[in-house]
Every structure is written in structure tokens, then in C-alpha cells.
Structure 1
Amino acid sequence: MTIRNIFTATALAGSILLAGCDSATEAEAPTEVEAVTSQIAVTDGWSRETAVGQDAGGAFMMLSNSGTSADRLTGGSTPVAGEVQVHTVDMTGGVMRMRQLTDGLEIPAGATVALKPGSFHIMLMKLKRPLQHGERYPVTLTFEKAEPIEVELTVQPVGSQGPVAKPKGADDV
């Protein structure tokens, strides 16, 4: 073996060794990771009036996530009910049924999810008293990632489709 071949072999072995050290250093070095967060805003909150003896009521609102990560509405609390559950409505065999979303409701990043009658909504279970048209009450919503958010809901009449919905038979003037 010539000196030139020995030098080439030594240089090659050194390069391989250094490359291995460099990759180990990179793998062990901490990397900066952008924080992925949800930023939830709640608007247009309302609920419906309930009758004496009725033990459940619905609550509706818009949930907007301006963050970079999806989040989940998981439930909440309110002084007017024993439980706050997240529900959906589906049709099974021509029958409309409500069911609790035990894993919560996803609010995708950059999206708005409407909680409305006949769709996703909040169920106020074990009402402590009837909800009366015109009154306002607080609900604290809980999320998988975001901090709890307290909103104030305004009670609309029975059968209402929301605070901005026109009553049946109203003119489109």
C-alpha cells in the first residue's frame, strides 16, 4: 500500500467518523418547535325558554378557532344546571335522536363551528329551575387545550331558531 492510499483511506475514515458525529450531534440537539395552540372565541350565545318541570334545555352559539391547532369542546358548567354536555343530532330510521359526544366536539384550526338547533348543541341537564324568556345566565365552557371560557346566554322564546332569526311568517323586508 502506498502512502497516497494510506492517506486517502485515513481521510475517508475520518470523514465517515466526523459525519457520524455530526449526525449524532444534530439528533441530540434540541430543536425549536413552534407552539401549536387553539384560540377559541365564542359568539352569539343563546338558549331556549323551558317549561316548569322540564329537566333539560339547549344552548347554542358559534365557536371560532383562530389558532394553529384543532381543539375540542368537552363540556362545561353553569349555576342553572347540574351538567353541561356536548350533543349532536342524527337521523336513524327516520327518527331524529340526540346523543352525547363523549369525546367532545372538534373545532378545527381556522374554522368556525355552529352550535344550533337540530345539529351540534349544548345540553343543560338536570335544570335547577326553568329558563325564562329574556333572562341571562353564565355558562363556563371547557376545552381540551384552551382555557375555560365563560359566556353569558340570553334565553329566547320556545321554538326560537336564534336571537337574529325572524319569527315564523315575518316579512323579508
Structure 2
Amino acid sequence: MTRLTGRRPLLRACWALAALAAAWPAGAHDFRVGDLVLDHPYATPTPPGAVHGAAYFRAIRNRGDQADRLLGASSPAAARVELHQAVMDGEVMRMRELPSIELPPHAEVPMRHGGGYHLMLVDLKQPLKDGDRIELTLRFERAGSRTVQVWVQTPRDMDVHRH
């Protein structure tokens, strides 16, 4: 047995691991649909008895050359999901429902807690608790639909914004 023959199983295993790593998603909690990267979907815990919750993303990145648009979402965890934007009205933060959220080409649209865009989970089936996971299906104009796993977690700066 030559030295090379003894290493063939090891080389095959290394190639298999390299192929598996190349197929693995870019981030541990990123999802892709078409040219869009849905970066770290998360929801914030709700107090007991809460009927509404909110889901967010670190960002939605459009890596394509054409604009796209988030048209809607749904989840088995809620009766419906609405697209919202938080805007300051004087000294009061107000939420307004949107028909869609624009995703310009080669741009990143943040959807974090504390203001800006978010997904309102209306009429929750049960409160959201730290560590839970829920499914959320997003519908895009160009990219189509994609179901993602949403982690329920308390952000470090949770006191900034609470639904």
C-alpha cells in the first residue's frame, strides 16, 4: 500500500466536507429567495395575553439589478400579518400599515425593532416566548414566496420599542 492510497479516503472525506460547506447558507440564520437575502428573522416576546406581536429582520438585502417589493406575509402563529412602518408624529411613535415595502436594487432595507419597518403579527394564537420558533411566509413581487423560521428572542436593547 502506497502513502497516497492510504490517504484517498481522507481526501474523499475532505472533498465531501468542502462541497457541503459550499452548499451551506451564507449565515447561520439567513434565508435566500431569488436575489434577496433575508437576514436573521426574529420576533420579540410578548407579555401573557398579548394579542399582537412583531417580527423583524436584521435586514432584507436585494443583491439583484432590479427592484423588488415585499407584498405581504402570513404565519400559522397569527390570524394575519401586516406590513407596518413606525414613524414619528411629533413626540409620538405611530404605526401605519403599508401595502408593500420597496426593496431597491443593490440595497439593504433594515427591519429592526425600535422603529422603521416591521411585520405586525395580528391576533396571535398564543403569546410568543423566548426560545420559540414560528414560521413566516413572505411574498415578494419578483422573487416569489419563501417560508422562513423566525426565532423569538429578547434583543439586548428591548426597552427601546415594545409592542
TM-score, normalisation: structure 2: 0.71
| Equivalent residue in structure 1 for 2:43, among 38, 43, 47 | 47
Q: Are 2:90 and 1:93 aligned? A: yes
TM-score, normalisation: structure 1: 0.67
Larger radius of gyration: 1
Q: Which amino acid letter does the alignment assign opposite residue 111 of structure 1? A: A
How many pairs are equivalent? 124
| Equivalent residue in structure 1 for 2:107, among 95, 103, 111 | 111
Aligned Cα root-mean-square deviation (Å): 1.7
Residue 56 (structure 1) shift: 0.8
Unaligned runs of 5+ in 2: 1-33
The ranges of structure 1 where at least 4 consecutive aligned residues each deviate by more than 6 angstroms after the TM superposition are none
The match for 2:80 is: 83
In 2, the alpha carbon distance for the partners of 1:51 and 1:92 equals 26
Q: Which amino acid letter does the alignment assign opposite residue 55 of structure 1? A: V
| Equivalent residue in structure 2 for 1:132, among 129, 134, 138 | 129
Q: Secondary structure at the match of 1:69?
A: coil
**Shift in CA distance, 50/167, structure 1 to aligned 2, threshold 3 Å:** closer
In 2, the alpha carbon distance for the partners of 1:166 and 1:122 equals 19
In 1, the alpha carbon distance for the partners of 2:67 and 2:93 equals 28
In 1, the alpha carbon distance for the partners of 2:52 and 2:142 equals 27
Unaligned runs of 5+ in 1: 1-37, 169-173
Higher strand fraction (1 or 2): 2
In 1, the alpha carbon distance for the partners of 2:111 and 2:147 equals 16
